[in-house]
Chain A
């Protein structure tokens, strides 16, 4: 089943006087519960299609169909709601909020997604997930005191705490060494499987492809 469809998506950036077409008509279907890996040379447009799909920037042309509705025709507030409730994000750096403890990072996400859970249920959910990503013992810690791998594990937990339908990840392991990369990838795969979350992930790393169900290669703004 297709949960998310990218149809003939084009993106043009204005570089001074010159128009640069970075995406030249992308077609891609994300299958429910599967991990789709986007690979390709630097500058081929991977991050651009990912952020457009995630509603963080607009496509110049084309359709992005999520649950039967075109993201590219929605207003800012409609897209924000979808980002808050249905999407999760993991980026190259963890982008945690510096003045919140590990557990508050997740509580904030639950608040933003307007979960219907009661306060104590929220706390239970947060603690359960922190145990899974093995960060429960650091739940009172602030981000500056965490290692890179620990930060990324918190970021994963934050991206999934509200049980999104789709997880968008842009080189989530780029800042980690190869052992940590394996841990983090295993974690992402396990969690998205058990929670039935669909994943679109950009990667440079050959090793990570073994975790993907579908591998898509990009070149010069097109899928090969």
Chain B
């Protein structure tokens, strides 16, 4: 017979209050986590979509990719030695369409590689978010640093950098716009360990993301909010179970007197905690998936299944810890005291 379940059934309101608090906090956490991931994608999908590997920039660039210039001889040597490697550059800029509207883009160019789009001179492939701004295949885009015009050859899905749609252009066009002759970065995919080249500094994809100032600041604050909410919910669990346990001291005493094991009382509390948490988290997860569907297009929201499972796991763990800490008083309950106090 399940005494834990019978208590929930008889005291529905009390447990529903706990459940709805857990639901609200976890829902908020799911939303923030989805936004955090969405913003991170929006900020750096270009880099995040790369396979595992290492990115190299000039040591003198002081971890600022914009300031990096890879020596051309070194570049050809590395590209010759590593067949999969590619050199690439990223610069923020603008394109103007035929109705004179400016669109902010991240120009990306690379030496031939299937990791990036390869485009011919005078051509451009842009992120599909520009479609919504009215740009079509065959449109002419101009840039005031560029003598010619780019013909839109096609679109790619979800390729963004620094919250701007990516525009892939040919290396020669790129060099003309930014008046440089060197590439900024080298990427070698698939190595577990970075190679060492004199004058170059290596970064894992993840470490490289953190060199982008807006990226690390944004993620840091969102992660802080997420963890803050997780900690708050842990405290809520502890406080709520503490209050319930205080009310039930007499009951625990009686149950101990008639021969209940202390561990059975803990199991009863854990069962209740897990039951309430799973329901609350189930609703949160379902609603946040629903939110992903109805969220306005401009709002970057991307809650992955892994993130949901991970958060669920964290919530259950922290609920377990909170409830157990507050349950230490159960261990201390003396059956005799409860009998002498006289309850019911």
Q: Is B254 an interface residue (CB 8 A)?
A: yes
Interface members, chain B 302-323 (any A CB < 8 Å): none
Q: Which residues of B contact A84 (CB under 8 A)?
A: 258-260
Task: Give the distance to chain B from A51, nearest Cβ to Cβ, in Å.
Answer: 6
Q: Are A111 and B7 in contact, CB atoms less than 8 angstroms apart? A: no
Interface members, chain A 126-158 (any B CB < 8 Å): 142-144, 151, 158
Told that A95-B257, A144-B344 touch, could you supply 10 new A-B pairs with CB distance under 8 A?
A: A56-B336, A80-B259, A81-B259, A83-B257, A95-B339, A96-B344, A97-B3, A98-B10, A104-B3, A111-B1
In the A-B complex, the 4 residue pairs with the smallest Cβ-Cβ separation, listed nearest first, are A84-B259, A99-B10, A93-B342, A95-B254
Q: Are B258 and A89 in contact, CB atoms less than 8 angstroms apart? A: yes
Q: Are B259 and A99 in contact, CB atoms less than 8 angstroms apart? A: no
Q: Are B260 and A51 in contact, CB atoms less than 8 angstroms apart? A: no
Q: Which residues of A contact B251 (CB under 8 A)?
A: 97-98
- Given contacts A93-B343, A151-B344, are A104 and B1 in contact (CB under 8 A)? yes
Task: Give the distance to chain B from A43, nearest Cβ to Cβ, in Å.
Answer: 14
Instruction: Spell out A's residues near B (CB within 8 Å).
Output: 47, 51, 56-57, 80-81, 83-85, 89, 91-100, 104, 107-109, 111-113, 142-144, 151, 158
- Given contacts A84-B259, A93-B342, A108-B1, are A56 and B254 in contact (CB under 8 A)? no
In the complex, A107→B2 CA distance in Å? 10
Q: Is B207 an interface residue (CB 8 A)?
A: no
Q: Is B206 an interface residue (CB 8 A)?
A: no
Q: Is B255 an interface residue (CB 8 A)?
A: yes
In-complex Cβ contact of B344 among A109, A112, A143 (8 A) = A143
Instruction: Spell out B's residues near A (CB within 8 Å).
Output: 1, 3, 6-7, 9-11, 251, 254-261, 335-336, 338-340, 342-344
Q: Are A57 and B336 in contact, CB atoms less than 8 angstroms apart? A: yes
Q: Are A89 and B344 in contact, CB atoms less than 8 angstroms apart? A: no
CB<8 Å pairs between A and B, sample of 21: A56-B335, A56-B336, A56-B339, A80-B261, A83-B258, A83-B259, A84-B258, A91-B342, A92-B342, A93-B344, A94-B344, A95-B254, A96-B344, A97-B254, A98-B10, A98-B251, A98-B344, A99-B7, A100-B3, A104-B3, A113-B259
Q: Which residues of A contact B6 (CB under 8 A)?
A: 99-100, 104
In the complex, A99→B11 CA distance in Å? 8
In the complex, A92→B339 CA distance in Å? 9
In the complex, A86→B343 CA distance in Å? 24
In the complex, A95→B9 CA distance in Å? 20
